[in-house]
Structure 1
Amino acid sequence: MSQPVESPQGAQRKLESVVKSIRDYGENPSAFLAVNEGNEHFEGSGQGFITYRRAGGYFIQFGGVFAPKEQQRTLLDEFGRYARSQRRKIVGIQLQQTDVELFAAAGFTVNQVGSSYSVHLPEFTLRGTRFMKLRNKISRAKRSGLEVRELPYDEDVRNRIGEIDRHWLRSKGKHVKEIEFLVGQMGGPAQEYRRLFVGLIEDRPVAYISYSPAYGSRPGWLHDLSRRLPDVMPGVMEAINAAAIERFTEERAEWLHFGFTPFTGLDPECEVPGNSALTGKFMRLLAQKGGSVYPAATQLAYKEKWGPHSVLPEYLAFQGGASFGAIWQVLRVTKSI
């Protein structure tokens, strides 16, 4: 039987409901990624939702449970029953410390999978010897004629930065796919909530960074999708981000989040009682030798150069016990392999 097609009005109401739940209950700085096209949203008997994608025999759940604290366990249990009715198991990815107790109490095996990095904007400064190299890179980019503008993502801009996307993907190699699910998107119904900063040379876009809103106890912006032309000079991305930081600071935003990087900041003290020792060993192996799976070292170097004020562990949760099959499906749904 074919599924009914949702009307544009119905889709807009659904988006507004999801965004409201993220705003009200989304403690995860990356929570806005839940609105990505291709995600599904499970709503139970109460308020809020759970976002997920299907992969093999699993529901890959993203970012925890977006619901009032007192309703989270009920919603998670309802989602578990739905998964069983579909003959699937749940794997939760990019869970926060605040989610760990909830998932562990519901019988999940929980392991640290990486860390997230954030800058507190009222404290942030590029002054001092620590940031001398960063300042120099930004200065060189500006001297080359770089101009940074915040632009609307209209048809003209979409067409102009499309060249960046095409060259960026081509430079990654013939068989490389764009990573999905744990990174944001450009365009679509949720674009109105995002902000786009573009670097231009002689009015030609050469790089851009998209920022998504962040809510919860550390509100601000998430440094999300970023791309540049392969032959652009060093310092362009840093100059774009510095311009965005200046704008956000003027607007009195509290935090700039650089988001989640898997296989980084792994710490035995952050592990949860009842975790899978074998999974922990596998994560540490990926941290050392997993560059071909995910460019964690490159991402970490970029994030650390901004002197993050907060580094928090993030977790992976397995329903019914850890398995390499579940980890494989997480890598598959994110197109990391």
Structure 2
Amino acid sequence: MIAASTEASTGNRILQAIRAHTASENPSSFLTLNSGNSTFTAPGADGVVVYRRTGRWAVQFGGPFAAEGDYGPLLDAFRRHVRDEGLSLVGVQLQRTDAERYVRRGFTVNQVGASWAVSLAEFSLRGTKFMQLRNKISRAHRNGLTIQEADAEQVRDAIATIDTAWLGSKGGAQQLEFLVGQIGGPAQAHRRLFIGTIDGAPVAYISYSPVYGSRAGWMHDLSRRIPEGSPGLMEAINAHAIEVFRAEGVAWLHFGFTPFTGLDADHEVDGHSPAFQWLMHALWAEGAALYPAQTQLSYKQKWGPDVLIPEYVAFDGPQASLAGFAHVFRACNAF
């Protein structure tokens, strides 16, 4: 019997799948463990599909996390399940190998953005390239910033203080979900949290999620700061975390997915939608109200990323769907 579930007990199954089946090399795969996600499995198939339902759409995160021989059958079974439920299917944050497989099954697939990664083996902030970054970090420390790695439960009140101030500065915006990380829940034991204080008061934090595959390491995930705080808070915390990771022999720091960035015609796959491609470029140029892609990319580029990883959106059918794309943002609680 095919199973679709939101049970928290599926967390271990998902974790085992993303650890074991890394062929797609999805650096954001740990986000599949976010609370609120649904999972799909099929009898005899070694793997799992993770998705959220919004309205009449199923929004899938990445491709199936499955053994090579079970990838196609699991995707086909999930596709049938979605159709049997009277839903339409859109997949987001697919990697290149996922994208090519989806194209062969009749999906319309376009690049939707990119993620970025820094090799830590020889990483250094020395040199003129990072002079402005070093200045911001130094300013934060001169203003009294202290950084520590912390247990999320033990600093729960501090996190809440920062979150409340941060969301308040966004006009009371809601917490984003699905394509961004979270703090707490059963998966928290696998994350790492670095928090900054000034004169004992919490001012900023960064949560890091594990990344599996050939570029294993950590992903700079959920991050918040108090408004009107010292310049350089996030930069100083991330620089501190990098030194901790380097001392542990961690090979890669990922900066996660940013929509509308890293767009390149060479990244598109066969059968992509030219109209949707145009829309992505337009949203990069003028879509700050929907998502601050340029601001996000500016922060990531400060660290001199070594790798750009194109990511894709896939629509089940012969054309891209604006309604499907809108439901990706609905799944993220963006509106």
TM-score by length of 2: 0.95
Q: Residue 134 of structure 2 aligns with which residue? A: 135
Moved beyond 4 Å, runs of 4+: none
Q: Residue 36 of structure 1 aligns with which residue? A: 34
The number of aligned residues is: 327
Moved more, 293-302 or 21-30: 21-30
- 1:19 paired to 2:15: yes
1:336 Cα deviation from its structure 2 partner: 2.8
| Aligned counterparts, 1:64-83, within 5 A | 64-83=63-82
Counterpart of 2:62 in 1: which secondary structure? strand
1:138 Cα deviation from its structure 2 partner: 0.5
- 1:227 paired to 2:224: yes
| Letter matched to residue 18 of structure 2 | I
Q: Residue 279 of structure 1 aligns with which residue? A: 276
1:21-43 Cα shifts (integer Å, max 9, x gaps): 11111320100000000000101
Please tell me whether the aligned partners of residues 294 and 336 of structure 1 are also in contact (alpha carbons under 8 angstroms).
no
1:219 Cα deviation from its structure 2 partner: 0.2
- 1:47 paired to 2:46: yes
Counterpart of 1:122 in 2: which secondary structure? coil
Rounded to whole Å, the distance in 1 between the matches of 2:190 and 2:105 is: 34
Quick one: which of 163, 166, 182 aligns to 2:164?
166
1:76-100 Cα shifts (integer Å, max 9, x gaps): 0000110011011210100111211
1:208 Cα deviation from its structure 2 partner: 0.1
| Letter matched to residue 11 of structure 2 | L
Counterpart of 2:82 in 1: which secondary structure? helix
Moved more, 218-227 or 176-185: 176-185
| Letter matched to residue 261 of structure 2 | T
1:123 Cα deviation from its structure 2 partner: 2.5
Rounded to whole Å, the distance in 1 between the matches of 2:55 and 2:144 is: 49
| Letter matched to residue 167 of structure 1 | A
Rounded to whole Å, the distance in 1 between the matches of 2:292 and 2:263 is: 16
Rounded to whole Å, the distance in 1 between the matches of 2:55 and 2:323 is: 9
Quick one: which of 325, 328, 331 aligns to 1:327?
325
Which blocks of at least 5 consecutive residues in structure 1 are unaligned? none
1:239 Cα deviation from its structure 2 partner: 0.4
| Aligned counterparts, 1:101-180, within 5 A | 101-154=100-153, 156-174=154-172, 176-180=173-177
- 1:89 paired to 2:85: no
1:267-291 Cα shifts (integer Å, max 9, x gaps): 1111111011111111111111000
- 1:198 paired to 2:228: no
Counterpart of 2:115 in 1: which secondary structure? strand
| Letter matched to residue 41 of structure 1 | T
1:70 Cα deviation from its structure 2 partner: 1.9
1:177 Cα deviation from its structure 2 partner: 2.1
Rounded to whole Å, the distance in 2 between the matches of 1:217 and 1:315 is: 20
Percent of matched pairs sharing the same residue:
53
Counterpart of 1:53 in 2: which secondary structure? strand
Rounded to whole Å, the distance in 2 between the matches of 1:99 and 1:115 is: 14
Counterpart of 2:152 in 1: which secondary structure? coil
Q: Residue 239 of structure 2 aligns with which residue? A: 242
Q: Residue 256 of structure 2 aligns with which residue? A: 259
Counterpart of 2:125 in 1: which secondary structure? coil
Rounded to whole Å, the distance in 2 between the matches of 1:103 and 1:254 is: 30
1:11 Cα deviation from its structure 2 partner: 3.7
Q: Residue 285 of structure 2 aligns with which residue? A: 288
Rounded to whole Å, the distance in 2 between the matches of 1:131 and 1:239 is: 13
| Letter matched to residue 17 of structure 2 | S
Rounded to whole Å, the distance in 2 between the matches of 1:11 and 1:171 is: 33
Q: Residue 55 of structure 2 aligns with which residue? A: 56
1:157-207 Cα shifts (integer Å, max 9, x gaps): 101221100010000014x22221110000011100000000111222110
